[in-house]
Amino acid sequence: MIASIRSKNQHLLWRAAFGPMAENAAELESMSTRKLWELLLETSAKKPEKINVAQQLVDLYYNTLKDMEDPKKRELTKEQRKEIQALSTDGLKDLNLRWLDEMINSEAQLREKMSLFWHGHFACRVINSYYQQELLQTIRENALGNFKDLLRAVSKSASMLQFLNNQQNRKQHPNENFAREVMELFTMGRGHYTETDVKEAARAFTGWAFNLKGEFIFRRQQHDVGSKTLLGRTGDFDGDAVLDILLEQKQTARFITRKIYKFFVNEKVDEAKVEWLSIRFYQHDYDIKKLLGDIFTSDWFFDEKNIGTRIKSPVELLAGIRRLLPLKLENDQSQLLFQRALGQTLFFPPNVAGWPGGKNWIDSSSLMLRLRIPQLIAANEAPDIRPKGDDDLQMGMMMEAAKKLKAAVKGATAEIDWNAVNAVFEKTPREKLLKQISATVLQTRSAVSNELLSRYLNNESRENYIKSAIVNLMCTPEYQLC
């Protein structure tokens, strides 16, 4: 069965963006898919404005330590540590919500979606909102640029160097963590290097560090200047030389391409297509935008097997609901609880490998909550959510903190702009309304039975009918797929 123009355009918007927005959903019937792709590129071309939530934190931290007379005895008091930790926790919450707002409302949908991919690829978990803020900006600025530039910038970020312990990587006492993850998770993937390669790369990365302001510095006195052998190459390599060698490997292009294919196209990988894409990615010198163009303008991307078969991540689910149902939240903190309960809190990946995705997003408790979210929002019900446990101060919401947050959002209301939603279907005849709403809300081949759905719809008015149809469709298992 050949997909309709609407189905193709919605497929592109769910994969290259966060789903259709109410204000332009009606146009998807007539706009060519190629034109829509060009529009996504155009609206994401501008450099992103920085999300700045943590300047107070870095000023306090830097000025406090800078004013200490003896650099070797720089140690914060218990009260200072507590103040900085509180500022950082609040900063991470603000950073989370403001980036989520960008995903929902920004015109630069392609850039923000690609940034979410890189956020999982370069998974980093540090309780320092300033470092995380700077890393996010690095990712957003380079998300559609060149993978070489992105890899170098991320590898020299304070967040990543701290998270992967490279501050402790010194000559004669190398720490292999950073070097191992750069090879295993950021470039070539497991099985394409040896333990000796890791040890030699770790020696090359000695001296890579950052200062009090989170700026990259090279501590020459801590760098191992001896000869190193890595992936068949021998020389007095430093960290930049190691990255060059890794980028010269065609396996790096293959590994990145395969991961992008799984995220944007299908969990079931077509190895022949990945090989073709990776060769072009390598030939185009790791140009991310060209790789995405090869995917999103191909005929096979719109094959039936690729449409409506991918499980939405929690962030994609939340952003997608809010794009089609424009709303104002009295208290947006509830979105942190939803993320936590569904298993994807921005800036808190489960480990250095990031979120596994796919069927891992779904378990018995998370699925039930997923099915309830649209109804909770539409009915202005306070979410009664039990956040999943964690092993650190995740978002400051461990147990007691989670109770406080639940109390803060209890009774908070969400005001949906139903006029914008109704406008999407204003030209649709009444007899075709349910079919059109289903086609707009769902991407799956197996639609919900109209006969079954009709039992739960409000027929008092056209507006109530549209409202009840959309909310009920969003509460189905089919809506979990895109």
pLDDT tens-digit readout, 38-68: 999 999 999 999 999 987 776 777 666 665 5
Q: Which two tokens stand for residue 59?
A: 């000023």
Number of alpha carbons in the 13 Å side-chain half-sphere of residue 42: 6
Q: Alpha-carbon distance 88 to 85, whole Å?
A: 5
Q: Alpha-carbon distance 204 to 183, whole Å?
A: 13
pLDDT tens-digit readout, 153-208: 999 999 999 999 999 999 999 999 999 999 999 999 999 999 999 999 999 999 99
Q: Are residues 427 and 321 in the same domain?
A: yes
> Is 230 inside a domain boundary?
no
> Is 159 inside a domain boundary?
no
Residue 48's contacts (CB-CB under 8 Å, 6 or more residues apart) are 102, 108, 111, 137, 140, 141
Q: Are residues 319 and 468 in the same domain?
A: yes
Boundary (domain end) residue, out of 240, 271, 306 = 306
Residue 141's contacts (CB-CB under 8 Å, 6 or more residues apart) are 47, 48
Cβ–Cβ < 8 Å for 290, 37: no
pLDDT recorded at residue 229: 98
Q: Alpha-carbon distance 8 to 29, whole Å?
A: 10
Q: Are residues 318 and 301 in the same domain?
A: no
Out of 158-162, 229-233, 236-240, 396-400, least confident range: 396-400
Strands 327-329 and 233-235: unpaired
Domain count, the chain: 2
Q: Are residues 336 and 292 in the same domain?
A: no
Q: Are residues 397 and 274 in the same domain?
A: no
> Is 434 inside a domain boundary?
yes
DSSP class of residue 388? Answer: P
> Is 397 inside a domain boundary?
yes
Q: Are residues 321 and 442 in the same domain?
A: yes
Q: Alpha-carbon distance 77 to 425, whole Å?
A: 61
Q: Are residues 360 and 412 in the same domain?
A: yes
> Is 170 inside a domain boundary?
no
Q: Are residues 290 and 399 in the same domain?
A: no
> Is 13 inside a domain boundary?
yes
Q: Alpha-carbon distance 249 to 252, whole Å?
A: 6
Q: Are residues 260 and 320 in the same domain?
A: no
Q: At what angle do helices 334-342 and 364-378 cross, to 10 degrees?
A: 160
Confidence of residue 322 (pLDDT cuts 50, 70, 90): very high
Closest CA to 352 of 104, 178, 167, 151: 178
Average pLDDT, the chain: 91
> Is 199 inside a domain boundary?
no
> Is 9 inside a domain boundary?
yes
Bridge partners of residue 12, in order along the sequence:
none
- Looking at the chain, the whole-number percentage of residues with pLDDT higher than 90 is 78
Instruction: Give per-residue burial for 237-276: e unless 16+ CB within 10 Å, then b.
Output: bbbebbbebbbebebbbbbbbbbbbbbbbbeeebeebbee
Number of alpha carbons in the 13 Å side-chain half-sphere of residue 446: 6
Domain that holds residue 400: 314-480
Mean pLDDT of the region 216-227 = 97
Q: Alpha-carbon distance 418 to 422, whole Å?
A: 6
Q: Are residues 448 and 366 in the same domain?
A: yes
Q: Are residues 416 and 366 in the same domain?
A: yes
pLDDT recorded at residue 74: 63
Specify the length of the chain in residues: 482
Q: Are residues 266 and 326 in the same domain?
A: no
